[in-house]
Amino acid sequence: MKQRIYINDVAVRDGFQIEKNIISTETKIALIDALSETGVAKIETTSFVHPKLVPNMADAVEVLANIKRAADVTYSVLVPNRKGMERAVATHQSDGRIDEINVVVSASETHNRANVNRTCDESFADFAIMVKMAKSAGIRINGSISTSFGCPFEGYVPEDRVLGFARRFADLGFDGVSLADTTGMANPAQVERLSAAAVRQFSNIELTLHFHNTRGMGLANVIAGIRAGIVHYDGSLAGLGGCPFAPGATGNICTEDMVNMLEDMDYDTGVDLDRLLAAAVKMPAIVGHDVTGQVMRAGKTMHLHAVPGKLYTQ
Ligand code: ZN
């Protein structure tokens, strides 16, 4: 039996949130609908962040109200704070269903202040209230730990601190925890070590790894995570995304490159790579610039080429 690996595409949220051009609501809906038909397990659809902070997420309600939901896909949203949680729950109850809410804290105190202008303890105090709001609305909730593998200000974060944050999420009743390499500082040895410790300590919650390919180690980190027993991975169609502290740096690991690798290695991603590639090739036109996906350029591994004719002319 092939081992199942579950893919969560975050392009429409993590990717689009840093794009300067405003992407139309119709384009986002079409992209989510296309992703729904690829076989990915989860799609992060939007964020209930303040529209002034991230203009590209101002249409969260319209997006959720108009996508075509596939039965076996989990539709998640990012919620930055209690105000966002109120909007998300109201949307879930009227305009459009939300299957899962994702909240974020940084493992590093400095990064949390830079990102959400709060101490980590203040973030967790809010999460204690937010988890109740999500649960009473019948929505799953996931806690993401940014900078789990390194902070651009503080350097490597002690593993005990990261695992301690995962414990706080678990104790609050969260359904899942994501360890996120927000600025692409993770290396495979470190990923395998921290992931193995997390798998040992948290057997009843869904563990996800979120990598950026900032320094070219993204897909190697996925393999390290799988070796440690983690089966849920975030990726971004066409490799969209980036990092506000490293302008021009490569974004999230590319979903279709990850799927191509995993399928070649005989894992079962449940994803139709051709459909995924068909959606990915539209991305440069959507965002108005080049993207980092490689398989969309080179073709699938088993996309073989015609033998040069002259080999047979002798
Ligand atoms: Zn990210």
pLDDT digits (tens, 9 = 90+) for 196-244: 999 999 999 999 999 999 999 999 999 999 999 999 999 999 999 977 6
Residue 35 pLDDT greater than 90, yes or no? yes
Residue 21's Cβ-count burial label (10 Å; 0-12, 13-18, 19+) is exposed
Please report the pLDDT score of residue 246 as a whole number: 66
In whole angstroms, what is the distance from residue 234 CA to residue 253 CA?
Answer: 8
The question of whether 243 is a catalytic residue gets the answer yes
How much distance in Å is there from the Cα of 234 to the middle of ligand 1? 9
Please report the pLDDT score of residue 310 as a whole number: 77
Please report the pLDDT score of residue 245 as a whole number: 64
Across the range 94-110, mean pLDDT stands at 96
Across the range 251-256, mean pLDDT stands at 96
Fold classified for 6-298:
TIM Barrel (3.20.20)
Across the range 236-255, mean pLDDT stands at 84
pLDDT, tens digit (0-9, with 9 covering 90-100), for 159-188: 999 999 999 999 999 999 999 999 999 999
How much distance in Å is there from the Cα of 209 to the middle of ligand 1? 10
Work out the end-to-end distance of the chain between its first and last CA atoms, rounded to an integer number of angstroms. 46
pTM of the model: 0.95
pLDDT, tens digit (0-9, with 9 covering 90-100), for 108-147: 999 999 989 999 999 999 999 999 999 999 999 999 999 9
Residue 313 pLDDT greater than 80, yes or no? no
How much distance in Å is there from the Cα of 182 to the middle of ligand 1? 5
Could you tell me the residue ranges of all domains in the chain?
6-298
In whole angstroms, what is the distance from residue 134 CA to residue 43 CA?
Answer: 18
Please report the pLDDT score of residue 53 as a whole number: 86
82 Cβ contact list (under 8 Å, min separation 6): 126, 129, 130, 133
How much distance in Å is there from the Cα of 304 to the middle of ligand 1? 33
Q: Write down the mean pLDDT value for the chain.
A: 95
How many residues are listed for the chain in this entry?
Answer: 314
Please report the pLDDT score of residue 20 as a whole number: 86
How much distance in Å is there from the Cα of 302 to the middle of ligand 1? 30
pLDDT, tens digit (0-9, with 9 covering 90-100), for 283-312: 999 999 999 999 999 999 988 888 887 776
Across the range 256-281, mean pLDDT stands at 98
Across the range 8-35, mean pLDDT stands at 95
Q: Which of 120, 151, 243, 254 is catalytic?
A: 243
Give strand pairing partners of 143.
Answer: 103, 177
In whole angstroms, what is the distance from residue 23 CA to residue 194 CA?
Answer: 37
How much distance in Å is there from the Cα of 60 to the middle of ligand 1? 18
Percent of the chain with pLDDT over 90: 87
**Beta-strand runs (E) in the chain:** 6-9, 42-47, 74-78, 100-106, 140-146, 176-181, 206-211, 232-235
How much distance in Å is there from the Cα of 310 to the middle of ligand 1? 48
pLDDT class of 18 with cuts at 50, 70, 90: confident
Across the range 17-45, mean pLDDT stands at 96
